[in-house]
Amino acid sequence: MREIIIDTETTGIERKVDRIVEIGCVEINNWLPTGKTFHKYVNPTHPVHREAFAVHGLSKEFLKTKPTFKRVVNQFLAFIGDARLVAHNAPFDLGMINDELDRLDMPPLQNEIVDTLELAKAKRPRGRHTLDGLCSAFNIDTSRRKLHGALLDAELLSEVYVELRGGRQYGLSLLGEKEEVTIDNLPAARQRLVPLPSRLTDEERRLHAAFVETLGEKAIWREYR
């Protein structure tokens, strides 16, 4: 299943007033990264609040040379297509996108949406549900993250999302504890529908049988004849 992990940075938190300044998307397919991403800085034509600048470090001076949302919207919509969209606190990020679409007289997104904040609350009710808290719980490296950035946060969220859905790290409990991995609880190996043909010739089998006969009645090799 194709899914798009999405994050935005904005001029502030007032949906009807503030604007998007950065969009980052990461494509995964069947919970594996495909290497495809979408990333744009956006000129909001609107002041960046001091509190927002402290979070993402994107100034009005930096953004004024970037394309407006109107100029990047078609590329963005083409990238996400009809994929399921995954965001942390999805009503905010996707609400901001829908508000931008509305200003352009374009219809809102119709994609299926997964909110990882709600997913985390359900899976880890006693844990911290911020992106940083979830990265810490799942031992995801955040050393590159000095400030918030839409693409970097989307990349981190893609790893968190995979862990919330079951994870690549077998035995990692969603309560933040390690489960003991034993022979009994290892996942079963996948079996081939059609077994591979033996590469041994009849002559090699005859020589091996003759060798085993020389080892005596208690030889362990007799168990594999």
For the segment 178-210, what is each residue's pLDDT rounded down to a tens digit? 444 343 444 444 443 444 455 557 766 677 677
Determine whether the annotation assigns residue 102 to a binding site.
no
**Which value, in Å, is the radius of gyration of the alpha carbons in the chain?**
26
Instruction: Tell me what the mean pLDDT of segment 94-118 comes to.
Output: 97
148 included as an active-site residue: yes
Determine whether the annotation assigns residue 141 to a binding site.
no
Q: 156, 142 in Cβ contact below 8 A? A: yes
Whole-number pLDDT of residue 220: 57
State yes or no: pLDDT of 32 exceeds 60.
yes
The packing angle between helices 116-123 and 150-164, to 10°, is 40
Residue in 88, 129, 148, 208 annotated catalytic: 148
Mean pLDDT of the chain, nearest integer? 83
Instruction: Tell me what the mean pLDDT of segment 10-38 comes to.
Output: 94
pLDDT in tens, 54-87: 989 999 999 999 999 999 999 999 999 999 999 9
State what percent of residues in the chain have pLDDT above 90.
61
Put simply, whether the predicted model's pTM sits higher than 0.75 gets the answer: no
Instruction: Tell me what the mean pLDDT of segment 19-38 comes to.
Output: 95
Instruction: Tell me what the mean pLDDT of segment 133-154 comes to.
Output: 87
Determine whether the annotation assigns residue 88 to a binding site.
no
Q: 30, 13 in Cβ contact below 8 A? A: no
Q: 78, 84 in Cβ contact below 8 A? A: no
Whole-number pLDDT of residue 204: 66
Helix (H), strand (E) at residue 95: helix 90-103
Q: How far is CA 95 from CA 8, 112, 160, 203, in A?
A: 11, 14, 22, 72
Q: What is the largest CA-CA distance in the chain?
A: 88
d(CA 159, CA 157): 5
Top-confidence residue, 221 or 205: 205
Whole-number pLDDT of residue 187: 44
Whole-number pLDDT of residue 198: 56
Determine whether the annotation assigns residue 153 to a binding site.
yes
d(CA 219, CA 214): 9
Q: 178, 172 in Cβ contact below 8 A? A: yes
Determine whether the annotation assigns residue 9 to a binding site.
yes
Q: What residues have CB less than 8 Å from 17, skipping those under 6 apart?
A: none
Top-confidence residue, 39 or 204: 39
Whole-number pLDDT of residue 126: 86
Mind listing the domains of the chain with CATH numbers? 2-165 (3.30.420.10)
Task: Give which of 86, 61, 171, 173 is closest to 123, Cα–Cα.
Answer: 173
Q: What residues have CB less than 8 Å from 94, skipping those under 6 apart?
A: 6, 85, 87, 109, 113
Whole-number pLDDT of residue 173: 38
d(CA 72, CA 67): 7
d(CA 219, CA 2): 54
Top-confidence residue, 171 or 185: 185
